[in-house]
Amino acid sequence: MRETWVIGAASNRFGKMKESGREAATEVGLAAIESAGIEPRQIGHTFVANAFGVAEHQAHVGPLINTGLGIPEVPSVTIESACSSSSAALHEAYVHVAGGFCDFALVVGAEKLSHLDTLAATSYFAIGADYPFEAKNGATFPGLYATLANVYQHTYRTTPEMFGSIAVKNHANAALNPHAHFQKAITMETYLGSPMIASPLRLYDCCPFSDGAAAVVVAAKEAVPHPVREPLVVRASARAGSIADMHDRPDLLGLPAARAAGAAAFRQAKMGPEDIDFAEVHDCFTIAEALALEDLGIFPKGAAARASLDGATARDGKFPVNPSGGLKAKGHPVSATGASQVVEIFEQFNGLAGGRSVPHAEVALAHNVGATGGSCSVHIFSRR
């Protein structure tokens, strides 16, 4: 396996896009290639994440994006792994580049759903769950994650303020992120006063429906003698799966795929949680951030929501989490999310994160979940 780097990254502002998913993917793909200091013709393979292109009446977007980039002859593949689509695409790009199949690969994820209302978007998203058993019987993602939150709350006797502190922290971080959907801090009072969506999840426990696109360029170290930016060295690229249906899982106090992907990533990197300086984790709902931190072994079971209330996960805390604002406040354009976590780490390591910078960070982790955890990717990056 060759040493593999992320040498360029770009994102648009999440929220509502005027352009189509495919147009946005082409724009950020080009911006990522420019940020890497290479030419589009150097890309050997494009890995595209676009789970809900069908909502735009468009499939097979890879060749369209490559045509827009001026490289129609370059192979592409579209990868669907629900909310972890672009981290799955990154894993495939890593395998190609580290395995010597190409020197440069483009990973791009894009999603556009803002032309749909909440009911239609919720219905599309629900096909990422087990449709006959879950979605068809009325289970939505807020409902499924509310089930996880209820089990957690009942087991660990948590308070609403503990989950609220995750939302308040992530909104504060997103207020400093020009890519974020919501660039507005909220107070605990705003959180507590917000409407109930699926008990115990309130409005501010939920990620929004966002449009967005994010891209990264993956390269073999040996093909980049003079990187124009500080590259992210890929120390680990791990994926795992688990039983997709929540009703068949023996335990709802975590996501088995996240535990397995986290453990595999730490093994690959020859590191432990104590070596990580900050993490971008999949907080589609506030409960998901708490579970992620426990699944990764960063906090003991039942301790993450409390630690958040104590400030441990703030930018200046013991273990900064989601300096970007996370899915909760930066937004969650499904297939762009995993790549955008890497964009955040790239900006952090390149001094481009402005007021949300995590000082002295050398090693960072990205954790990206598909649906309620049928799949999960964990990547670990370091400076050279």
Q: According to the binding rule CB under 6 A, does residue 172 interact with ligand COA?
A: no
User: By C-alpha distance, which of 101, 28, 41 is closest to 71?
Assistant: 41
Active site residue 60: no
Q: According to the binding rule CB under 6 A, does residue 191 interact with ligand COA?
A: no
For the CB of residue 141, give the shortest distance to ligand COA in the complex, in Å. 3
Q: According to the binding rule CB under 6 A, does residue 14 interact with ligand COA?
A: no
Q: Residue 10 or 240: which CB sits closer to ligand COA?
A: 240
Chain position carrying tokens 């929004």: 208
DSSP state letter for 326:
I
For the CB of residue 34, give the shortest distance to ligand COA in the complex, in Å. 31
Rounded to the nearest 10 degrees, what angle do helices 118-126 and 141-156 cross at? 70
Contact (CB, 8 A) for 167 and 286: yes
Q: According to the binding rule CB under 6 A, does residue 332 interact with ligand COA?
A: yes
For the CB of residue 195, give the shortest distance to ligand COA in the complex, in Å. 7
Q: Residue 121 or 263: which CB sits closer to ligand COA?
A: 121
* Token pair in block for residue 88: 């799955």
From 204, 266, 299, 349, residue interacting with ligand COA (rule: CB under 6 A): 204
Q: Residue 68 or 142: which CB sits closer to ligand COA?
A: 142
For the CB of residue 193, give the shortest distance to ligand COA in the complex, in Å. 12
From 207, 261, 309, 366, residue interacting with ligand COA (rule: CB under 6 A): 207
Strand, coil or helix: 52:
coil
Q: How many residues bind ligand COA (CB under 6 A)?
A: 15
Report the b/e string of 230-245 with b at 16+ CB within 10 A: bbbbbbbbbbbebebe
Q: According to the binding rule CB under 6 A, does residue 5 interact with ligand COA?
A: no
Q: According to the binding rule CB under 6 A, does residue 135 interact with ligand COA?
A: no
202-210, 227-235, 255-263, 310-318 -> range binding ligand COA (CB under 6 A):
202-210
Q: According to the binding rule CB under 6 A, does residue 187 interact with ligand COA?
A: no
CA pair distance 85, 340, nearest whole angstrom = 12
Q: According to the binding rule CB under 6 A, does residue 279 interact with ligand COA?
A: no
Q: According to the binding rule CB under 6 A, does residue 149 interact with ligand COA?
A: no
Choose, from 45, 171, 332, 367, the residue flagged as catalytic. 332
* Token pair in block for residue 152: 């957690």
Q: Residue 284 or 361: which CB sits closer to ligand COA?
A: 284
* Token pair in block for residue 223: 């093909």
Q: According to the binding rule CB under 6 A, does residue 112 interact with ligand COA?
A: no
Identify each DSSP E strand in 12-115 by its residue range: 45-49, 76-79, 104-111
Q: According to the binding rule CB under 6 A, does residue 183 interact with ligand COA?
A: no
Strand, coil or helix: 8:
strand
DSSP state letter for 15:
B
Single-letter amino acid, residue 33: I
What number of other Cβ atoms are within 10 A of residue 73's Cβ? 8
161: left (phi over 0), alpha (psi -120 to 50) or beta: alpha
Active site residue 360: no
130: left (phi over 0), alpha (psi -120 to 50) or beta: beta
Q: According to the binding rule CB under 6 A, does residue 291 interact with ligand COA?
A: no
Alpha-carbon separation of residue 306 from 8, 152, 162, 347 (angstroms): 36, 12, 6, 29
4-12, 207-215, 244-252, 354-362 -> range binding ligand COA (CB under 6 A):
207-215
CA pair distance 351, 22, nearest whole angstrom = 29
Q: According to the binding rule CB under 6 A, does residue 42 interact with ligand COA?
A: no
30-38, 99-107, 199-207, 226-234 -> range binding ligand COA (CB under 6 A):
199-207
Q: Residue 116 or 253: which CB sits closer to ligand COA?
A: 116
Alpha-carbon separation of residue 187 from 161, 170, 341, 355 (angstroms): 11, 11, 25, 19
Active site residues: 83, 332
Contact residues toward ligand COA (CB under 6 A) are 83, 118, 122, 125, 141-142, 197, 203-204, 206-209, 284, 332
